[in-house]
Chain A
Amino acid sequence: MSAEKNLLRGGRRHSGGRRLPLAAAGFACLAPAALVLSQSGERPSSAPMGAATTAAGDASGAARPAPRRAIRFELASSGLPTSGSEGMWKSDPVLADINGNGFADLAALPRLAKGARVWTGDGEGNWTDSSNGLAVPRTSCGGGLAVGDVNGDGKPDLVVGDHCTGIWVYLGDGAGTWTEVTAAMYPVDLVEKPGDELSEKLVTGAEDIAIGDVNGDGHLDILSGGSDEGGLNIFLNDGTGRNWTRQASSLISRGWANRVLLVDVDGDGRLDVVASHSDGPLVYLNDGRGDWFWSASGLPTPMMQGLYHGLATGDMDGDGKLDLVVANWVDGPEVYFQREHGTWQKAPEVFPEMFGGAVGLAVADVDGDGRLDIAVSGRLQPTGGMVRGLFLLLNEGNGSWRWARDTGLPSTGLMQTSGLSFGDIDGDGVPDLAVGSGLITETGPPGASREPVIAHRLMVWRGRRTAASEDGSVAAPGAASVDRGGNGEKKQ
């Protein structure tokens, strides 16, 4: 499989259409390093940050990874919300260059507030509100966002999936002003009893959305995951970003999806559907004729609905096939390798130290060794209080991951977290991490702090590679505390 082809695989959300011209990739949520390796003139929509090295390595047949670098994260959230009415950031934040200045900007959707927000970044971790036109008359409930050019004018637009009110589309002028062109869209024809409020409510919400060109007409379409019983739906774009037609398809039409992605799972050049559906992770392959077929053999079907939340894809084992990473609300992150004939095989436990479950999840090559690492939000123990944390799991290259403890990310002390996304806010090629937090958090034991250790509810952590680390450890300079295995043992 070619490097170019490999780049088209994997990755996180906000996956724009592959057939967009590279110029449009300026606002893609991808690292510059990944963009450089795209030689196809197509937007490498689904490549995880840092996947370029992996792809190049595969293509050349070089199995030896690049040297691992120690990684440190520092808070870079000046100007982002700390509390107040917009203190509950229930979405995977999006890092993308919206104003075309070369630095990633930030978009996120709050719960119990007035709609999506956008901040422009200066590359130094300072953020300026740029949300003119995004306020909604009704309360937003959190959900998902995507940035892409839905009307073909070369300027990034914003698509919002709201848990309560459905799908909203805003055309951007590239200068921070947004024009609403689609409001509260939902799969109307799924309403069992039209006119019945309860029946309509079951399908009006969108828990998450992704955008991409699913039918090859050059326009970005929308994949939405319902927030209750709406299932998975594709809305086809006529190229204006204003008119959307729900595609009649074989996608599951019931349940909800905590996350959805459009990525090329099978490498046929067509975007496929991946979802953490309420029934469990699901994959549907695009048949190229306007329909989808189920391809989730080997993926879990839990007894508990809604068990899986965060979702990412990438070639996690370097075999050239796209793999799946999902956040299990009880057991923590899980990796499923894609095997022959589109079947999936669960990797050995990825994060044995985590007993409190995972919610948000993102993948990128953080330490620069050419392998995809995993960032997770969740908690180590199932206790109440300010116990959520952020965790970086480094890819060991043998189908296993290891928790890097000394990265500067808080392993506890946060409010309930929601989503994660990698991006590059300063153009240094090192993945930075955006985190949505501030959701209602259970009361902790007596004496426990009632305030999170980080005041910001929506936060960005800037990654720095600090030093070469030949033995593969990721200890920060001067602090050689490294977890050597899955048993939590610390070796000095």
Chain B
Amino acid sequence: MVRTGTGQGQSAVRPHAAIVGHASPRRPAAVVAAVLCALIGAGMAGASQGQSGNAAGAGDDAAPPRHVLPPLSDSLDVPIDGIEPEPATREQLLVRANVLNAARLAADYATLWEFRDLLTVAHVSREEFIEWSVENDPFVYDVAETQDVAVDGRWGWVRVRASIGMRRAPSIPPRTIERWERWIHVCGRWLPVSAKEQDNAPQAPAERDLALEPLLQARYDAWWKAVEARDWRTLYEMSDPLDREQVDFETFARARNQLTFFDHQVLWRNASSDSGIVRVRYLLRLNDPNMTKMHPVVSMVNERWVRRDGQWYHRLLGGAER
């Protein structure tokens, strides 16, 4: 059961992405986007008036209401629906990555502030960030080098080699790492994907099995067709056989019946070894007779898949990969 709050309650507020869109209505998307982009002093290209869950054709006399997704949103669960992807180049990302790494080395928090994610910028002032970081930044960079850069649409990846020590434990030797860092082009500039949003961005192409992704996409497309047709038997059979051992069909069908999906949009897919993720924006509604006036809401979901004997299966249950 999804939990809502007790008005201004604290511990009792347990929103769900599929619910809060109505219960705590989102501000007009373009407005939010404009505000957030303004906070980092950036322009906002392509902002549109996407309003989550509005029925298309509401003003048409004859057209029956049809629920469709609003325009493409940012896919990081940042409430900036309406920002369209903008042309972004590898060279621009390289410049930004080098500036970031130089700031890391110099502990230049004023510059590092320019690379904070939008939600941080919205809730913490530049001065607060600098003051806090000067006192509390746990890391010291001895090395921070850009080694490679990749770009795919609004997504970017930077291969970084860094040597990082613990500021308050100088006796611990610095740790040298090499990793792909995920970036997104938003509000007219490249920003690193924040730590809490890592799961909402695809891995770097070099870390993925790109050849498997078309098969994953095709499998998802077939899965969505079954969702649209409310063909629970097909969906069940496309589910991970190991999960099916724990969830019988009746339970599965009962759960599926609780939601109606109106529209979907695949944002990215990511296949790596035998694990796959398809990140999707859905427009959906709870089928609860006690909430007949609830508007459809946009929900971002990472649909997880597992490959067994060459076939992709949809994961029903969370937890560690098996």
Contact = CB atoms under 8 A, between A and B. Distances in A.
Interface of A: 88, 90, 111, 141-142, 163-164, 201-202, 205, 207, 227-228, 256, 258, 278-280, 300, 302-307, 309, 328-332, 354-355, 357, 359, 382-384, 416, 418, 439-440, 442-443, 445-446
A445 B28 contact: yes
Contacts of A305: 1-4, 14
Contact of B12 (A227, A355, A445): A227
Contacts of B290: 280, 300, 302-304, 307, 328, 330-331
Given A302-B291, A309-B7, A331-B290, A207 B23 contact: no
Given A163-B12, A304-B291, A331-B291, 6 more contacts: A304-B2, A304-B286, A359-B7, A382-B25, A418-B8, A445-B31
A164 B6 CA distance: 12
A307 B9 contact: no
Contacts of A201: 11
A383 B11 contact: no
Contact of A227 (B11, B27, B295): B11
Contact of B291 (A88, A330, A359, A416): A330
A330 B294 contact: yes
Counting chain A CB atoms within 10 Å of each CB, the highest count among B5, B11, B14, B295 belongs to B11
B258 interface: yes
A306 B25 contact: no
Given A256-B12, A440-B8, A304 B3 contact: yes
Contacts of A164: 10
A330 B290 CA distance: 8
Contacts of B12: 163, 207, 227-228, 256, 278, 306
B293 interface: yes
Interface of B is mostly: loop
Interface of A is mostly: loop
A90 B24 contact: no
A408 B12 CA distance: 34
A161 to B, nearest CB: 12
Nearest to A276: B6
Q: Which 9 A-B pairs have the closest CB atoms?
A: A305-B3, A302-B290, A306-B4, A303-B288, A330-B291, A300-B290, A439-B8, A304-B2, A382-B25
B33 interface: no
A258 B23 CA distance: 16
10 contacts: A163-B6, A163-B12, A227-B9, A280-B290, A304-B1, A307-B4, A307-B291, A359-B7, A382-B25, A445-B27
A439 B286 contact: no
B123 to A, nearest CB: 14
A207 B4 contact: no
B292 interface: yes
Contacts of B258: 303
B256 interface: no
Interface string B149-190: 000000000000000000000000000000000000000000
A305 B5 CA distance: 8
B19 interface: yes
B264 interface: no
Given A256-B12, A355-B293, A382-B295, A416 B7 contact: yes
Contact of A303 (B6, B23, B25, B286): B286
B295 A228 contact: no
Given A256-B12, A331-B290, A384 B27 contact: yes
A398 to B, nearest CB: 22
Nearest to A88: B8
A306 B6 CA distance: 7
Contacts of A440: 8
Contacts of B291: 302-304, 307, 328, 330-331
A446 to B, nearest CB: 6
A475 B36 CA distance: 46
Nearest to A418: B7
Contacts of B27: 384, 442-443, 445
Interface string B11-27: 11010000100111111
B293 A442 contact: no
Counting chain A CB atoms within 10 Å of each CB, the highest count among B7, B27, B289 belongs to B7
